A and B are shown apart, each in its own frame.
Chain A
């Protein structure tokens, strides 16, 4: 299948792929949005057919079409399920690109995406959010559950992680050096996870470089078709980590963006592409790096008496195809009681901006996740994606549940002497 062209403003390039869909409907059960709303336009098959309608000039781009295309989680389950090899998530990206190019993004999205892409504005936004959370939200009734998001419980760090640590974090005994790509969520709201990653790597004799000038990976911009902005950030990041042999991410979405999506973005720049390929090769998710590259020493674990389950983030499991390593790492911790989560690799309902634009569906998807978690009887939910940590923790809290959600690195840092 040809890659959705990240430059063109027309759907012509994906017409061939649109025709590949023979409407068998086998993607329906894979689409969590469809399974929740049970409306064909909000299903993978529906979206593909509607995009085909627009591409053929048989359908206008109207509110119904925009909703259909924007209601995609980009979780990629449909792509895995499709027997014909259609990649509906790629087609959705192409359609979003088409809309961004032909009619521009709506103002709210434009502001959000622009803010995330710019480190200064991003910092300002998180500080404002922190202020609102602490000073305003308590005074407004019902503000704790804002469209399914646990506003009061939302952790926002006063100082970003990148500003909390030096550029070079040396291990007591140094056997190697890696870069750490922090990402927006770890930087601003999960600094403790950032520290955990550094701690575990340092404990395993690895120096960790945290470049101060790193910027947002570009996932949000890419997801809504602003490929220029995504590329701008991508270029910065690629250059920034040039001299390092390995770059660690602690976020499935960042990881998948850096490792896979950058290649798509620069597919039309043959001169730059080798550099992108070189960059992609050295991206490691925290879990694979500690498991395969530094061969985590299980001797160093202390006994950990908890019942634990694992949630696969969409971009972790289907983007980076990492499912085994986190589980193996968890199971190797002495006395840990690991239980498998039903529908572990199904979206938790966050999906970036999806949760605020389709909050009713998102809330229902999260409710199912909470239910499945509850059924495991685990007291700790582990995942590899900060966005999932927030979404799941928030949903648990809003429904009065006590389970804790942590990043794999958090748990490892705690279990590690």
Chain B
């Protein structure tokens, strides 16, 4: 609980419009996009780096654990408040400080929503490549904290590849800048890389300098529909082996085709086993040849139909279906568990088999969604959170899927992070030496674990 004195002090820092302590407010900031929930003791909205620094310094004085948060679309519990914590919500720091297309950079505040930046870049003919499915809602600060991926990663990489520099409020409240507008701006270590994906456990990112790119000259969006999910996964392996790097290579199985189509109404064949959305971009003169090659590979894997989108609107509709597919499973069962296990691409068919087996083993519907080119799976285990026995089976299925991915030489997290959800499995993926290395990093930044305590790793002293 916050004492009256604390509320007074916090209010003095951020202003009465930027602090919430009522019951409803606490409840509204007690969840993210996972099933977990725990109410914080208060929410503060800094409006500037100086506010943030003052807040952090005060929290240190009174020993308040802080949880950074943006839009709260997190899928691993990274932005979830744990016991007695103060939410520092950066959602109101939304300014675009500079767009400098000729130097390929944009400087933004952490609370800016990814899509709002994309929209601002649009008029320069530029874009910011990392576009997680949540990009219309999620903040860039959140994207940085979780090192978000997205469907374009196969060719363009993830968030870490597009962050040139950060302004960070350290757990002590002191402000540092790491990196800069140019490459080679780091001091001693690549601190920017360490902070990207650190889930707000090392510092509060208040500003970021992003790398932006001109939009590609041309692209082709293809839709390949298969009778069997196995055929689709064969194509994925073949495309990669043929040395083609599509911008994206996305897979949805039958269950997801159905729920997505109910939402977006594309008229997809409801009996199809799987579909692939394939996109290539680049110079116009190169694309037809790539499309032909991809078509051949699809045919080799017994594709049912192969189609190239003839208009931008058609491609947009496909993407809308893809981006909203996760939420659309609510049309089948009210709750879902979403993983982000990632495996070496060559083992794609094995992972598909493992998911199908898992679904049978626990008698649970599992939708298979994958950034197939990245080997990044989003198995969606569907259930009802009010059914205790089902929840138990879901938990077992989650554990199995992580084990399966690790057994194939993969990782348990390709793009959502560890947060609290996957913390207990960390030792399956990392040796004690590696986990101790994580602790060394955490201790170097935040020896008292006052920032986002209990995420990724625990420091021994925390108990």
Contact = CB atoms under 8 A, between A and B. Distances in A.
B28 A20 contact: no
Contacts of A62: 22-24
Contact of B33 (A19, A25, A41, A53): A25
B120 to A, nearest CB: 13
Nearest to B90: A38
Interface of B: 20, 22-25, 27-29, 31-34, 45, 71-73, 91-92, 94, 111, 113, 115, 134, 136-138, 262-263, 324-331, 334-336, 384-386
A64 B23 contact: yes
B263 A19 contact: no
A65 B24 contact: yes
A347 interface: no
Given A22-B334, A23-B32, A82-B327, 6 more contacts: A40-B25, A41-B20, A49-B27, A59-B24, A64-B24, A85-B331
A38 B111 contact: yes
B416 to A, nearest CB: 13
A29 interface: yes
A21 interface: yes
Nearest to A40: B28
Interface in A31-49: 38-41, 43, 46, 49
Residues of A contacting B: mostly = loop
Contact of A83 (B73, B92, B326, B385): B326
Interface of A: 16, 19-29, 38-41, 43, 46, 49-50, 53, 58-60, 62-65, 67-68, 82-86
Given A25-B134, A29-B115, A29-B136, A68 B328 contact: no
Contacts, number: 109
Contact of A19 (B115, B325, B331, B385): B385
B218 to A, nearest CB: 25
B32, B73, B384, B386 — which one has the most chain A CB atoms within 10 A of its CB?
A: B73
Nearest to A61: B24
B246 to A, nearest CB: 25
Contacts of A85: 262-263, 328, 330-331
A21 B330 contact: yes
Question: What 9 pairs across the A-B complex have the smallest Cβ distances?
Answer: A84-B330, A83-B327, A64-B24, A64-B22, A83-B324, A25-B73, A83-B328, A41-B28, A40-B28
22 contacts: A22-B335, A23-B32, A25-B137, A28-B136, A28-B137, A38-B111, A39-B20, A40-B28, A41-B20, A41-B24, A41-B25, A43-B28, A49-B31, A50-B24, A50-B28, A59-B23, A62-B23, A68-B24, A84-B328, A84-B330, A84-B331, A86-B330
Given A28-B137, A41-B20, A84-B327, A23 B31 contact: yes
A63 B22 contact: yes
A58 B134 CA distance: 29
B25, B134, B325, B384 — which one has the most chain A CB atoms within 10 A of its CB?
A: B25
